[in-house]
Structure 1
Amino acid sequence: MRNFLLGGVCAFVLMGSVALFAAPSKVGGLQASETYRQLNLFGEIFERVRNDYYKETKDDELMEAAINGMLTSLDPYSVYMPPRSFQEARVQTRGEFGGLGIEVTQENGLIKVVSPIDDTPAQKAGILPGDLVTHLDGDPVMGKTLNESIEKMRGAPNTNIVLTVRRGAADSAKTFDVKITRAVIKTRVVRSRREGEFGYLRISSFNEHTTQDMVAAIDKLKAEMGPELKGYIIDLRDNPGGLLDQAISVSDSFLNQGEIVSTRALRGTADEGQRYNAKRGDAADGKPMAVLINGGSASASEIVAGALQDHHRAVLVGNTTFGKGLVQTMIPLGEFGGMKLTTAGYFTPSGRSIDKVGISADVEAWNERDRQIAAALKERRQMTDTRQTEENKSDKDKQEPAQVTPPHQVPTPGQDGPDLVLQAAIEVLRAPPKPTARK
């Protein structure tokens, strides 16, 4: 994903008194005047808190909280990152980082799991997309910023943390504790193997090496299977996304022409945005393809799935994706770290915006785990506009959490029982239906 430098920053300093801002020029008129009036209001409130709050406060913490409040009010994905967090985020896109191996966002004050990453402590512990984390080591996440919670989840390898997880619909949600041991996360994002007469490629995320590793895996399958290779299965289930340029290049690997994706700023004129088109060349040599998707397939995964579906290059098998159709830009802020800001929405070649909707499969197929993910995502979407705090919870909500089956006993595709979605994809490739046209 491209990094843009932030220019034209207007800074102000509070030095023991209410901040005073220069009077607005005539340019901008009433709107500029109102903006400066609100900034003066912020300065006054900041100063009141510094002087009159019943406990001692720290200026830098107040400012960080104010910045995060502004960003998180925009959408769940825009966030300020202090220097350490910003550096770790940039390292993560290079394929190695420390922690639990979990992609998260914030929803209604809680930590929402987008997806665990393959072969990481979070996935092995049974964490599912759509899970809500309510406590970390018994400490409520409500009232904390997303960065504060992420920092608490990170730590030295071989140390433990207990996540309190809420899973399921609101009326029947189950809460349980999951003990996870931190580790250095080295992401191997592409795995491949033979599935009968088909080559199977599992892509778990989109970092700087994804396209390169995928093409190498395809070449290896070609060398091993020779003329017996009849097609490909690309598994994007539980793939939380990653770099936009890698989603584009993966899609381009299978398309000879046409638009892959367009990004548009949802403001200003209609031509504010970028279109990305495919170049000639198909790594799969025109052979049939199936793409596996589920509720944990998000962001960059949905770009790939949408492009291949709209061009009728692959049949999508599984169930509706997560529905994250927004593009974030990593913006450095010098010594202050950086920010991740939503700068555009993306659209599939047919013009679809899938944000909060997702991409539907051409052939619907389910594992039990997928049903749990889908149920949780459906409930979360229904609760998007609900704001609930500990103070206004009902007595029912305050009851002791129910005991449920430990999460590590939940079947994972291809491990604890037959992978019905993969089986469906193999049947589709053997007798392929016509992919659904998207207008």
Structure 2
Amino acid sequence: MIGGSVISAWAQETSGGRAETYRLLNLFGDVFERIRAEYVEPVNDRDAIENAISGMLTGLDPHSSYMNARSFRDMQVQTRGEFGGLGIEVTQENGYIKVISPIDDTPAARAGVKPGDLITMLNGQSVQGLTLQEAVEQMRGERGSTIRITIRREGTDRPIELTLTRDVIRPQVVRYRLEGGDIGYIRLTSFNEQTDVGLRRAVQSLRQQAGNNLRGIVLDLRNNPGGLLDQAVQVSDDFLNQGEIVSTRARRPEDAQRWNARTGDITDGLPVVVLINGGSASASEIVAGALQDHRRAVVLGQKSFGKGSVQTVMPLPGNGAIRLTTARYYTPSGRSIQNTGIEPDIEVLATRQEATANVPRGPEREADLRRALRNEGGVQTPAGTSLPPLQLPPGVAERVQRLPAEGAPAFDPTKPETDFQLQQALGVLRGIAAAPTPQRRAAR
């Protein structure tokens, strides 16, 4: 128990230099005792203390937080990249859960779930009214447990009911395919312990599929919220032969760190386009910033989220953990993207509506969050001016369209041809590949 008398005794034994700190701790103890004694209903001591700790951390910045034991276990599961579930990547559409893709050799794939299926019910209860996260949590569960899902499929008159048995799922944080037989498309959905290994496998598989015809790589980081710093460093290193990848500066100068690339580009110098948008954050911005600063890739899309801080997870034995912001990070050229984001080399909007003045500017970004850290310590030049000029073959950048044509089909995750930003990225890569050899080299 933390009570006022306990903290008073502690403060009396402490040097006077910290008297104010312990006076405030004494205030905390007094409030805690008042709540325990006089609140209208009995209060659980653990809940009260955990709420206080949570408030103390969330009051610092948007990314520091307290995780109780269960939340800490869930975070560790996500970091490892496996959990109990059905094996489907989903999005939300008109209140229903839409299947983007079933993961190979999972309960969903074996049961015949198909891309484009709409999940309308879970265990007989409608999914309408649920957030996407709430629906995903219902579909996850212990290996061996069952769930009944109801599907509406285009071309089928009646709903399809399936009973699936959950299994251990290893999500595809790396998804890839060959576009037009000559361009490799690789999407990273997050940065967990499986990301770098998955990226290397993807490049190897694409090389085998394309033979000698592989002409470039699209690295899709859109809506990738980030994850592990070491994975962002390794992914960046995969495309670089030398130079700094990222540096971090903490409260104490001696805690500053710097990561440099090692020799070895897994693509052997193939041209790369990195796709970003307002949902690309943290580790995604480290990768995009490193490849942009070294002019190793053309960054295309929309300005990224702008999260330039590093969080350290500190376990509290038997009591979960805290996630504490401990450093800011900086791109190789010394830029801090905190509150500003990565500006694309070539801006391409996903829809025409985003260019309309009376429409909100898109997803909430770091700068919109309360108590977001200031941008400080980085180079003060305007975004992009400290970088070497972007060298592309003549006419390539000029042929990129900033907006979809009027009446263009709406984006459907199951139909790559409706992905306007991707189609522009493919055009850039094919333009680079078609240029004479000296110009191609200059663009790398």
Match for residue 280 of structure 1 among 263, 266, 269: 263
Q: Deviations over 1:142-166 (max 9, x none)?
A: xxxxxxxxxxxxxx9997766577x
What displacement does 1:287 show? 1.1
The answer for the alignment partner of 1:331 in structure 2 is 314
Q: Which amino acid aligns with 1:63?
A: I
Output the TM-score relative to the length of structure 1. 0.69
Q: CA deviation at 1:340?
A: 1.2
1:75 to 61, 73, 91: 61
Q: Tell me the secondary structure at the aligned position of residue 241 of structure 1.
A: coil
Partner letter of residue 139 of structure 2?
Answer: A
2:217 is equivalent to residue 261 of structure 1 = no
Q: Distance in 1 between matches of 2:219 and 2:413?
A: 14
Residue 122 of structure 1 and its aligned partner are, at CA, apart by: 5.5
- 1:430 partner letter: R
Q: CA deviation at 1:259?
A: 0.6
Given that 1:160 and 1:179 are in contact with CA atoms closer than 8 Å, whether structure 2 keeps it comes out as: no
Cross-structure match for 1:22: 10
Between the aligned partners of 1:369 and 1:413, the Cα distance in structure 2 is: 18
1:251 correspondence with 2:233: no
Aligned with 1:346 (options 310, 329, 351):
329
SS at match of 1:301: helix
Is this contact kept in 1: 2:278–2:303, CA < 8 A?
Answer: yes
CA contact (8 A) 1:235 1:291 kept: yes
Counterparts of 1:376 and 1:126, CA distance in 2: 22
Q: CA deviation at 1:288?
A: 0.6
CA distance in 1, matches of 2:291, 2:49: 44
Task: Please give the alpha-carbon distance, in whole angstroms, between the structure 1 residues aligned to 2:232 and 2:220.
Answer: 14
Q: 1:383 to 1:64 in 2, by over 3 A?
A: closer
Residue 59 of structure 2 contacts residue 371 of structure 2 at CA under 8 Å; is this kept in 1?
A: no
1:209-248 to 2 correspondences below 5 Å: 209-248=194-233
1:174 maps to which residue?
none
Distance 1:122 1:249, change over 3 A: farther
Q: Does 1:95 align with 2:81?
A: yes
The amino acid across from 2:214 in the alignment is: L
> Is the contact between residue 80 and residue 194 of structure 2 (CA under 8 Å) also seen in structure 1?
yes
Instruction: Give the match for residue 427 of structure 2.
Output: 427
3-state SS of 2:361 partner:
helix
Shift of 1:427: 1.8
- Name the counterpart of 2:286: 303
Quickly say closer, same or farther: Cα 1:93–1:67, change in 2 above 3 A. same
1-structure distance, mates of 2:325, 2:135: 31
Deviation string, structure 1 residues 101-138 (Cα, Å, up to 9, x no partner): 9xxxxxxxxxxxxxxxx9135689689xxxxxxxxxxx
Shift of 1:242: 1.1
Identity %: 48
Tell me what 2:135 maps to: 180
Give deviations 1:159-184, integer Å, cap 9, x for gaps: 7766577xxxxxxxxxxx99836323
Distance 1:294 1:370 in 2: 15
One-letter identity of the residue aligned with 1:246: Q
Aligned equivalents of 2:278 and 2:225: distance in 1?
A: 10
Question: What's the CA shift string for 1:190-219, capped at 9, x where partnerless?
Answer: 111111221111111111111111111101
**Cα offset for 1:257?**
0.6
Between stretches 91-100 and 329-338, larger displacement belongs to: 91-100
Mapping 1:120-131, distance limit 5 Å: 120=90
Q: Judging changes above 3 Å, is the alpha-carbon distance between structure 1 residues 123 and 88 closer, same or farther for their aligned structure 2 residues? A: farther
* Higher alpha-carbon deviation: 354-363 or 90-99: 90-99
Match of 1:49 in 2: 35
Q: Give, in angstroms, the shift of residue 377 of structure 1.
A: 3.2
Instruction: Provide the TM-score with structure 2 as the length reference.
Output: 0.69
SS at 1:80 equivalent: strand
Deviates more, 1:16-25 or 1:339-348: 16-25
Q: 1:119 aligns with which of 74, 89, 97?
A: 89
In structure 2, the CA distance between the partners of 1:26 and 1:339, relative to structure 1 (3 Å rule), is closer
Q: 1:314 to 1:122 in 2, by over 3 A?
A: same
**How far apart are residue 50 of structure 1 and its match?**
1.1
- Contact 1:163/1:178 (8 A) holds in 2: no
Higher relative contact order (CA 8 A, sep 6+): 1
Give the match's secondary structure for 2:50.
Answer: helix
2:241 maps to amino acid: N
Q: What amino acid maps onto 2:321 in structure 1?
A: G
CA separation of 1:258 and 1:416: change in aligned 2, threshold 3 A: closer
Distance of 1:124 and 1:243 partners within structure 2: 33
Residue identity opposite 2:421 in structure 1: V
CA shift in 2, pair 1:340/1:99, >3 Å: farther
Supply the distance in 2 between the matched residues of 1:19 and 1:99 (Cα, whole angstroms). 47
- Consecutive unaligned residues in structure 2, runs of 5 or more: 98-121, 141-168, 373-408
Query: Structure 2 matches for 1:124-143, cutoff 5 A?
Result: none
Q: Quick check: 1:312 aligned with 2:287?
A: no
- Give the letter for the 1:86 counterpart: F
Contact 2:240 2:263 in 1 (8 A): yes
Structure 2 equivalent of residue 132 of structure 1: none
Deviation, structure 1 residue 46: 0.9
Does the aligned pair in 1 maintain the 2:4–2:27 contact within 8 Å? no
Partner SS for 1:430: helix
Partners of 2:281 and 2:52 lie apart in 1 by: 29
State which of 173, 185, 196 in structure 2 corresponds to 1:189.
Answer: 173
Q: RMSD in angstroms over aligned alpha carbons?
A: 3.5
Q: Choose 1 or 2 for highest CA Rg.
A: 2
Matched AA of 2:81: G
User: Could you say if the C-alpha distance between residues 261 and 95 of structure 1 is closer, same or farther in structure 2, counting changes exceeding 3 Å?
Assistant: same
Retained in 1: the 8 A contact 2:3–2:30?
no
